[in-house]
Amino acid sequence: MIGDKDYWSRGFGFDAEMTLLNYTFNTLNLRKVIHSAFLFNPRSVGCAKKCGGIKEGLSRRHIFRNGEYRDMIHFAIFKTRWQKVWQEYNKN
Ligand SMILES: CC(C)(COP(=O)(O)OP(=O)(O)OC[C@H]1O[C@@H](n2cnc3c(N)ncnc32)[C@H](O)[C@@H]1OP(=O)(O)O)[C@@H](O)C(=O)NCCC(=O)NCCS
């Protein structure tokens, strides 16, 4: 989580997730990671998609936040798919 809103939408979240996934896949040798996000949160959803996540499911009215129940969306990030994103990421 990036606490200071001034630093949102500058690419830091994507960088952090790619770094975490590099450790998860290339050091721990895991096969699959689930990224869950509030459906209404475009930055978290954007990070999941940009890291190669594919929609796996939706938990409806899952969490009570700011006076109402909110949906959560779940993305599967597979090592095989993520590796292509990682190659492109390292070129830049
Ligand atoms: C969620 C969070 C980690 C994302 O990190 P971030 O640095 O803000 O996001 P990034 O700049 O890396 O953006 C990644 C993608 O999200 C999307 N995105 C970012 N800002 C956006 C905006 N203002 N509107 C719509 N989509 C946006 C884009 O698809 C973007 O990719 P792009 O830059 O190639 O277009 C960060 O915003 C955060 O910590 N927020 C507060 C806590 C939180 O929301 N936690 C998640 C709860 S589900």
The structural domains of the chain, with segments of one domain joined by +, span 31-92
Name the pTM for this structure: 0.96
Q: Is the pLDDT of residue 78 over 90?
A: yes
Tell whether ligand 1 has an atom less than 6 A from the beta carbon of residue 8: yes
Query: What is the predicted pLDDT for the residue at 29?
Result: 98
Provide the CATH number for the domain formed by 31-92 in this structure.
3.40.630.30
- Using the structure block, give the residue that is written with the tokens 């954007």: 46
Cα distance between residue 37 and residue 9, in whole Å: 16
Ligand 1 centroid–CA 25 distance in Å is 22
Q: Is the pLDDT of residue 74 over 90?
A: yes
Ligand 1 centroid–CA 74 distance in Å is 16
Average pLDDT over residues 17-35: 98
Average pLDDT over residues 32-53: 98
Query: What is the predicted pLDDT for the residue at 92?
Result: 80
